[in-house]
Amino acid sequence: MFGHHKNEEQAAAAPAKVATAGDYRKEEKHHKHMEQLAKLGAAAAGAYAMHEKKAAKKDPEHARSHKMKEGIAAAVAVGSAGLAFHEHHEKKEAKKHRRHAHHH
């Protein structure tokens, strides 16, 4: 928080770095990895939600708790799927930039 002006001045004084195809390749790999992790998270959360749904039927005494856990897991699954979609888009953007970096 303190001294942020110094960093901004240094960044403004430094020459702008030109991104290379290698930089975009690294970024593309990063987004691919994150997309895969998000897909895995979505699958795991979805499986857990299904497990809790079944547990709610088998254990009526604690059904409310199982239903709450099911709802939370379902929300996590949807969020992870959204993150996977976002990372897929970012990966495509990095790939597009990498292709065009060769031409400049």
pLDDT tens-digit readout, 20-61: 778 889 999 999 999 999 999 999 999 999 999 999 999 999
* Model pLDDT for residues 60-94, shown as the tens digit of each residue: 999 999 999 999 999 999 999 999 999 999 999 99
Mean pLDDT of 6-33: 76
| Model confidence pTM above 0.85 | no
> Coil, helix or strand for 103?
coil
DSSP-derived letter for residue 17 is: P
The pLDDT, as a whole number, for residue 9 is 61
101, pLDDT greater than 90: no
Of 26, 45, 38, 8, the residue nearest 97 (C-alpha): 26
- pLDDT band with cut points at 50, 70 and 90 for residue 14: low
